[in-house]
Structure 1
C-alpha cells in the first residue's frame, strides 16, 4: 500500500496522482502566474484527487471546487481581497470548475460569525492549513518560480490520505463542522474510514 511506503516515495505517488487531474494541474499553473504571496492550492481538490485515484474513479470526480489560499496582511479589507478575486476570475475564466480564492490573513475577521468559534489571526498560509477540521485536509501545493518546482506542505504526512482515513483535527473547527464534512465525503467515497471526534478535544484553538 502506498500509505506504508517511505515518505519520499509517497511524495512521488502524491504528485503522480495529482498529475492525472488536468483541471488541478492547470489551476496550479495559472495560480503561479498570479504571484500571490504565500499561495497554495489546498484542501479537497488535493486529497479527493488522491481518493479518486486510489479507488479507481475519474481524477476530478466529486470535487466541488479548487481552493486557492494566499496570505497578505498588508491590507485586511474585503475590498483588497475582492480585487484579487475579480482579477483572478479573468485568469481562470476557461477553467471548467470553481476556483475559490481567500486571503487567509483575514479569516479571523469573519470566522466566528460564521462558525460560532473564535479564530486567532493566522500568521501564514501554512498556519491556516494547520487549522482544517481534519488532518487529512491539511495539505498544500504550489509551483515555485522560477523553475516550477512543486512545494508540498503536508504537516500530518500523506499516509492517511492514501489509506483513505479521515482523522479529526480539533484545534479550531468545531465538531459539527468535522462531522458534517465527513458525512458528506462518505456519501461520495464510501470506502473511507472516518475516525471519531475525541471526547477530550478542546472546543477551539483559542482555548
Structure 2
C-alpha cells in the first residue's frame, strides 16, 4: 500500500458516515462493489481543508457488477440496499449496476459509453482523475482502494480532465459545484 493509499484509508476510517455505509454494504454480499466518487474524494478534501467529516457529501455512490442487466434485477438490489439503511442514509446511497451503465449513459449525458466488464473499469472513465477513486471494506476489515490515475490529484486538491476521454459535457458544472464548496481547489484544464 502506498503512503497516499494509507492516508486515504486513515481518512475513511475516521469518517463515521462513510464507515457506516461501507460496513452495511459489505454485509449485503454484492458482487464486485465499490463506494466511489464524491463520498471518497470529498472526504479527503474535507480532511485536508479542515472541514468536518461529511461536509458537502450529498450521496454515496455504490457501484456493483451483475451480468443480469435487467431493470428488475437492478431494482431488486436498489430496494435491498435501501432496506438495509435507516434515514438519512436510505436516501443517500445511490446504487447502479455497472453492467447496465452503457444502456442509459448516452441518453442521459450525451456521450457514448462502451459496456464495462467490471466495476473498477468504470473509474477510468470518470470526468477527472481526482474523482476516479473507489473503496471497499473487505471481509478481513481492510479497505481496498481502486484509483486508476493514482491519488496525487485528490491529495493535491487538483481537478483536471480525464486524459483518456474527451472533456465531459458536464465538466463546467462539476467544477463549479466542487469549487463552490471547496474554494481551495486548483482547476487545471
Shorter-chain TM range is: over 0.9
Aligned to 1:165: 158
Greater Rg over alpha carbons, structure: 1
C-alpha distance in structure 1 between counterparts of 2:10 and 2:116, whole Å = 31
Aligned to 2:77: 84
Aligned to 2:12: 18
Give the alignment's Cα RMSD to 1 decimal: 1.5
Q: CA deviation at 1:174?
A: 4.6
Change in 2 beyond 3 A, CA 1:179/1:18: same
Native 8 Å contact 1:32 1:143 kept in 2 = yes
C-alpha distance in structure 2 between counterparts of 1:162 and 1:189, whole Å = 13
Q: TM-score, normalised by structure 1?
A: 0.86
Native 8 Å contact 1:117 1:172 kept in 2 = no
Q: CA deviation at 1:8?
A: 2.1
Mapped pair 1:71 → 2:68: no
Aligned to 1:184: 177
Q: TM-score, normalised by structure 2?
A: 0.94
Native 8 Å contact 1:41 1:67 kept in 2 = yes
Q: CA deviation at 1:51?
A: 0.2
Q: How many residues align?
A: 188
**Of 133-142 and 7-16, the range deviating more from structure 2:** 7-16
Aligned to 2:107: 113
Aligned to 1:205: none
Q: Which runs of 5+ in 1 are unaligned?
A: 1-6, 197-207
